[in-house]
Amino acid sequence: MTYGPWGLLAVAFAATYGWRALGVLVARRIDTDMAIFEWFGCVTYALVGGLMFKAIFFATSDLASVPLTDRGIAFAAGMAVFILSQRSIGAGFSTGIAVFAFIAMLRT
């Protein structure tokens, strides 16, 4: 039996959204205050922090051509604003990018 492109699209749609619908039904019965969910949150933050640290201090892409001091200053400025602005991710991220761009402009 062969399916045309529309048939394959329908099968893919049903498979994807069928599992999503099942997930919605099951998720309503899960207590998110369980210790396992707190652990998942902690692991998630640890992974993101580790990846950030690696990308900034042990860069392997084009970022590796930028001096470590420039990356460190931009990171420190972003973290300082993040902490001082009552943990505003947008403010910390924007400040880090702005400081990094400013330092890059000074170097050119």
- Specify if 45 maps to a domain: no
Total domains in the fold of the chain: 1
CA–CA distance, 99 with 78 (Å, rounded to integer): 8
- Specify if 83 maps to a domain: yes
- Specify if 21 maps to a domain: no
Domain that holds residue 96: 66-108
Percent of the chain with pLDDT over 70: 98
Residues 8-59 have pLDDT tens digits of 899 899 999 998 999 888 888 888 888 998 999 999 999 999 998 998 889 8
Residue with tokens 């400081």: 99
Residue with tokens 């947008």: 90
